[in-house]
């Protein structure tokens, strides 16, 4: 042995070891304190800073765990390790043990998201797909369990490594939670706060089983295909509007559009129809002035026009409740936006019982391949 080796060996026995870890990174969760052959001297100093936990591992077995503070390592401060080593009367020579420092501060703004769309069954829109993403925050609340179950023998464990495991866990539990919630599809985006808290409560036991505490969980956005969004917006507007007014409004718009098409057949027909109406109105105004003769009103001649046909009114069942009455055109609009379907029960005056829509003769036209019956009086 050379002279420098002897001096080094002498100094290593004269000075007390100091075991500490200064974390200069923001992403390290667990760090193994490196020693030559893992030897630690008797009465060595252990310094554990705030936001840290020191864990001693002896031959793969969890031994003593230390919170923040300064400790002198001896048989009094290492009761479990003393038992494992079989020291009965203390120890004077260096001993071997692995020391892991675990970062226990809060890791925030960790990202999560669904890699694939989640398929849900909505009562009105059928099978639909949604995606979701957000953030979460966690910290290590059981350092010993975390090292045994997750870290193993890794000498420098980062949050990137644990995040891959946590993201998969979150995606699985999120899918289960939204599936069991059975909310109308448009309410998922409107209730992210309540859904976030529910998901956190469901996931918490899974995190704690490996020594991790899920402190925060946020759903920032729930997205769906654009065509489904349009259907939901259209349904919402129709649900809030008076269907009779909506039908009249759309009819008026159709007449306006047809009248504007001057070069087409529809425009010509509309122009002729408007001409007949104007001619009748003008003729009525000019009748008292023609030939100087007093014209006898139609009411006085006894020639009365026939009564206007009464539009058929339909009632329909929705969510176990009676709804209506609505006209034929309104019911057709409800069928088009999936408020009712072929199995919906309907009733009108003259029917003895409620009957499925597809069994009512004049309503079979909604299903395609059929023509409606002639209008009353034709």
pLDDT in tens, 108-155: 888 988 888 888 887 777 788 888 899 999 999 999 899 888 888 777
DSSP 147: I
Instruction: Name the pTM for this structure.
Output: 0.53
* Beta-carbon contacts of residue 364 (< 8 Å; ≥ 6 apart): 358, 370
Topology of the domain covering 107-225:
Tetrahydropterin Synthase; Chain A (3.30.479)
Arithmetic mean of pLDDT, 311-322: 84
- The bridge status of strand 156-158 relative to strand 212-223 is unpaired
Instruction: Give domain 241-254+312-373's CATH number out of 3.30.1490, 3.40.50, 1.10.150, 1.10.1200.
Output: 3.30.1490
Arithmetic mean of pLDDT, 37-57: 86
- The bridge status of strand 95-96 relative to strand 18-19 is unpaired
Catalogue the E-assigned strands of the chain: 18-19, 28-33, 39-40, 45-48, 52-58, 61-66, 69-72, 95-96, 98-103, 107-113, 118-122, 126-140, 156-158, 212-223, 314-318, 321-326, 345-348, 355-356
pLDDT (tens digit per residue) in 218-260: 988 888 777 776 776 666 666 555 556 667 767 777 777 777 7
How far lies 250's CA from each of 169, 246, 272, in Å?
50, 6, 21
Q: What confidence score (pLDDT) does residue 142 get? A: 92
The more confidently predicted of residues 358 and 309 is: 358
Is residue 100 exposed (0-12), middle (13-18) or buried (19+ Cβ within 10 Å)?
A: buried
Q: Is 184 left (phi over 0), alpha (psi -120 to 50) or beta?
A: beta
Please state, in angstroms and rounded to a whole number, the distance separating the CA atoms of residues 59 and 53.
19
DSSP reduced 3-state for 174: helix
Catalogue the E-assigned strands of 141-205: 156-158
Please state, in angstroms and rounded to a whole number, the distance separating the CA atoms of residues 333 and 327.
10
DSSP reduced 3-state for 288: helix
Average pLDDT over the chain, rounded to an integer: 76
DSSP 66: E
* Beta-carbon contacts of residue 126 (< 8 Å; ≥ 6 apart): none
Q: How many CA atoms lie within 13 A of 331 on its CB side?
A: 30
Q: Quick one: pLDDT band at residue 7, thresholds 50, 70, 90?
A: very low
pLDDT (tens digit per residue) in 185-224: 777 777 788 888 888 998 999 899 989 999 999 988 888 7
Strand partners, 47: 70
Q: Quick one: pLDDT band at residue 273, thresholds 50, 70, 90?
A: very low
Q: 72 near 43, Cβ under 8 Å?
A: yes
């Amino acid at each position: 042995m050379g002279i420098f080796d002897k001096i080094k060996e002498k100094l290593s026995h004269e000075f007390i070891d100091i075991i500490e870890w200064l974390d200069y990174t923001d992403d390290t969760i667990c760090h193994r304190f490196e020693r030559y052959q893992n030897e630690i001297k008797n009465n060595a100093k252990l310094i554990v800073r705030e936001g840290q936990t020191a864990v001693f591992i002896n031959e793969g077995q969890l031994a003593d765990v230390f919170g923040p503070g300064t400790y002198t390592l001896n048989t009094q401060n290492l009761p479990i390790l003393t038992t494992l080593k079989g020291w009965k009367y203390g120890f004077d020579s260096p001993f071997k043990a692995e020391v892991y420092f675990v970062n226990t501060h809060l890791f925030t703004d960790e990202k999560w998201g669904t890699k694939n769309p989640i398929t849900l069954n909505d009562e009105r829109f059928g099978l639909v797909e949604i995606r979701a993403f957000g953030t979460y925050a966690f910290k290590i609340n059981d350092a010993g369990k975390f090292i045994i179950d997750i870290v193993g023998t890794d000498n420098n464990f980062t949050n990137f490594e644990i995040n891959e495991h946590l993201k998969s866990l979150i995606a699985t539990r999120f899918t289960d939670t939204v599936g069991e919630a059975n909310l109308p599809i448009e309410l998922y985006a409107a209730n992210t706060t309540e859904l976030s808290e529910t998901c956190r409560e469901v996931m918490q036991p899974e995190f704690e089983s490996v020594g991790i505490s899920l402190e925060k969980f946020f759903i920032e956005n729930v997205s769906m295909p654009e065509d489904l969004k349009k259907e939901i917006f259209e349904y919402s507007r129709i649900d809030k509007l008076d269907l009779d007014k909506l039908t009249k409004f759309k009819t008026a718009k159709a007449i306006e559009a047809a009248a504007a098409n001057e070069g087409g057949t529809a425009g010509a027909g509309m122009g002729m129809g408007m001409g007949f109406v104007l001619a009748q109105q003008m003729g009525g105004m000019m009748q008292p002035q023609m030939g100087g003769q007093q014209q006898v009103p139609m009411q006085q001649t006894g020639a009365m026009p026939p009564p206007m046909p009464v539009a058929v009114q339909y009632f329909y069942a929705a969510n176990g409740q009676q709804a209506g009455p609505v006209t034929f055109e309104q019911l057709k609009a409800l069928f088009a936006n999936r408020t009712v379907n072929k199995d919906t029960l309907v009733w009108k005056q003259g029917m003895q019982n409620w009957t499925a829509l597809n069994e009512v003769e004049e309503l079979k036209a909604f299903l395609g391949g059929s023509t409606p019956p002639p209008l009353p009086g034709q």
